[in-house]
Structure 1
Amino acid sequence: MRVPAQARVDPDAISHNVALLRASAGGAEVMAMVKAEAYGHGLVEASRAALAGGATWLGVAKTDEALRLRAAGVTGVPILICLGVPGEPYERAVAADVDLVAGAVWLVEEIARAAVRAGRPARVHLKADTGMSRGGAGPDGWPELVEAALEAEAAGHLRVVGLMSHFACADEPGHPSIALQLGLFTEMIEYAEKAGVRPDVRHLANSAAALTLPDARFDLVRPGIATYGLTPIPQAGTFGLRPAMTLVCDAALVKRVPAGSGVSYGHTYRTERETTLALVPAGYGDGIPRHGSNLLEVLAAGRRRRIAGRVCMDQFVIDIGDDELSAGDEIILFGPGDRGEPTAQEWAEALGTISYEIVTRIGSRVPRAYPGEGAVGDADG
């Protein structure tokens, strides 16, 4: 079935990025973060590519993601669910040998009850809030959390296999919070271990910290965006990472219009002279940012073209002047930049956001394709 838009994902690029991250991790293991459909790249396929590159753990946000990986045959590797909310089917996660994060006493207790139902101990990572003020227990609540976990461990309901926290500003080298968080995490580890916790892994580093903060690597690093080849610190360069996603469309319609033609809703773009317009069959319903209207660029007929007029739900228009383009010709919205196309990082900078948002927002109407599955026009969806 012909598809109008497609996100081509290069598994070899993901494997390359993980291998690079592993080499830079100084002996620490690598947990590839594959939450949010692997940042839009495809949960199962990206996970397999990350494992091929040397990842020894996988990290997700939600229970469903972990269970989908197990159902797809991703076994024999630890998977960590990093976000805990009341009422999740934790017994299914425990039964599937999936690790859970607990940053509150109530969650330790809920996981312990789920472990009883599952008939086996849960594997738990205790989360410390060292300054992000998001998930986890802060210094005041840490002793109570550790005590609750040790009591549940003594009862045979769980085993504390990890201690973890999360940086707030690791992507801002030199930010004063980095040293403060690192020091506090070290203190909270020491408290937990003196109390009797015997973790297999201690982990704090995200992509930015894994690449730039050796003291933060501990036993395990958790790269997210870098796994997919996008730099966590744009001002510091690419670190040798290779972007894995290329977003392409077939031109849907190409036509000449006279000077002064208003284009798309609101006529926020008018043609200065007689020109050729091309219709690109992807819009904000597919994850193309509407606030990229008259701003974002794509590659068409060998040159970059700015979106002309407002991005619609299913389509947008580009002005190609007098250049040649036919319906069905390929247009590259973003990619690694090898052919002169914009990158996801360039889109992000144009919009005042981060590359994470650009790739994760590409919606489910846009099929992901991997080498060997065919290109736009002959993929089977």
Structure 2
Amino acid sequence: MTTAKTTGTPALTHGVRAEAAIDLAALRENLAALGARTDAALMAVVKADAYGHGALPCAREAVAAGVRWLGTATPEEALALRAAGIRPEQARILCWLWTPGGPWAQALRSHVDVSVSGRWALDELLAAVRETGVPGRVHLKADTGLGRNGCQPHDWPELVAAALRAQAEGLIEVVGLWSHFAAADEPGHPSVQVQLDGFASAVAHAEAQGVRPEVRHLANSPATLLLPQSHYDLVRPGLAMYGLSPVPDIGTPADFGLRPVMSLTARLALVKTVPGGHGVSYGHHYTTPGDTTLGLVPVGYADGIPRHASNTGPVQISGKWHTVAGRVAMDQFVVDLGGDTPPVGEEVLLFGSGERGEPTAEDWGRACGTLSYEIVTRIGSRVPRRYVGAGDGSGL
């Protein structure tokens, strides 16, 4: 990892075949824009390697910018942040995706907040508390309608009661009550109000029984942007933190004061002239319509370029848009340059902020029939990240 004290998206590093530039200045701006929308505290969600942007650099930048909560899915993600030096007094870290036999003891010793959705998880946590002597900080999660993780309403009273008994013994502290939306990105969807009401009911029951949480939290990125009534004490922006719109049919990143953080660039590995009727890539799902030039881009689905981008994915070369021609292969894909002859080594901008007219991650999502979330998150470890625009976070 390299970090430059500049802003914007720089030219591709000399000699590399592909690179993801991560603009930490944009990350800070996005956090500030999100913070201006709410009186609640921010949790910077850095799960899945910060949506492909790099968990540790992004977490450090967020903490340096004043964010005091970090969100992870797996305990391994949370433990890695603590091992890298992000201390409890700098930021609380919440981990919410546990499985039986998980590293409860390590999480306790590392002062990681844990989410509990059922009695099995509470029982395993309590066993680890007794083993380590370290009390647990617990967020009880209610299933208010997503139907994924979280405690169902008919089991909620029992879970709350069991947690309060453990709290009375000094084994845990219930510091959070939370849930997650199913369709906050679809304003007016009937499930939104059902979940708002369900969460209010779950919180009311828990507080009536004696729970005094530090934070109640429900809002994800779209709810942070569109549902102020869901903000409570803490909001959990994920995608929006990285400058992508979770509601592209309602507003672009710029409409919400956001700027995409990741730009993905490669270099042309070959440019050649071919005749009309020439098949391109596996299966010949593209055939040149006439004499043309083909450009070889040395990234493929092993690097996270969706195979579904075959014949659809957009790129910008020498200021012009071109489309993937034929199948995306494991390590490479081809574009039909339409007779243009850029030099070998010319930059191929797959996606970026759009400020230079290049495609965005949202353009790739639409081309592949998926979400911008998937496009950035799937960019693999074979593609080096270069961090630009760093603030004080690099020194944490």
Pairwise TM-score range, normalised by the shorter structure: over 0.9
Per-residue CA deviation, residues 22-73 of structure 1 (Å, 9 max, x unaligned), is 1101x10000110000000001011122223442200000011011111111
- Asked if 1:207 is matched to 2:221, the reply is yes
How far, CA to CA, are the matches of 1:335 and 1:50 in structure 2?
A: 21
Counting only pairs closer than 5 Å after superposition, residues 1-381 of structure 1 correspond to structure 2 as 2-25=15-38, 27-75=39-87, 76-237=90-251, 238=253, 239-371=256-388
Paired AA for residue 170 in structure 1: A
Taking only the aligned residue pairs, the percentage that are identical comes to 55
Q: Does the 8 Å CA contact 1:90/1:114 hold for their aligned counterparts?
A: yes
Q: Letter of the aligned partner of 1:346 in structure 2?
A: D
User: How far is the alpha carbon of 1:146 from its aligned partner?
Assistant: 0.3
Measure the CA separation in 1 of the matches of 2:296 and 2:248.
32
- Partner Cα distance (1:321, 1:190) in 2: 64
Q: Any stretches of 5+ residues in structure 1 without a counterpart?
A: 374-381
Aligned residues of 1:301 and 1:324 also touching (Cα < 8 A) = no
Structure 1 residue 131: Cα displacement: 0.6
Q: Secondary structure at the match of 1:69?
A: helix
Using structure 1 for the length normalisation, give the TM-score.
Answer: 0.95
Secondary structure of the residue aligned to 1:215 is helix
CA offsets 1:88-146 (integer angstroms, 9 cap, x no match)? 11111111111000010111111111122222101000000111111111110000100
What is the letter of the counterpart of residue 203 of structure 1?
Answer: H
Give aligned pairs, total: 372
Structure 1 window deviating more from structure 2 (259-268 vs 203-212): it is: 259-268
CA RMSD of aligned residues (A): 1.3
Shift of 1:177: 1.0
- Deviation of the 1:372 alpha carbon: 7.7
- Whether the 8 Å contact between 1:19 and 1:54 is mirrored in structure 2 is no
* Aligned partners of 2:243 and 2:261 also within 8 Å: yes
**TM-score w.r.t. length of structure 2:** 0.92
What letter corresponds to residue 46 of structure 2 in structure 1? V
Answer 1 or 2: higher relative contact order, Cα 8 Å, separation at least 6: 2
Q: Is the Cα contact below 8 Å between 2:25 and 2:388 reproduced in 1?
A: no
What is the rounded CA distance, in whole Å, between the counterparts of 1:176 and 1:126 in structure 2?
A: 25
The superposition leaves residues 157-207 of structure 1 with CA deviations (integer Å, 9 ceiling, x where unpaired) of 111000000111100001111111111111111110111111000000000
SS in 1 for 2:302: coil
What is the letter of the counterpart of residue 181 of structure 1? Answer: Q
Query: What is the CA distance between 1:314 and its match in structure 2?
Result: 0.2
Work out the CA distance in 2 between the residues paired with 1:161 and 1:372.
Answer: 35
Counterpart-to-counterpart distance in 2, 1:372 and 1:133: 40
Distance of 1:372 and 1:346 partners within structure 2 = 25
Distance in 1 (CA, whole Å) between partners of 2:291 and 2:208 is 77
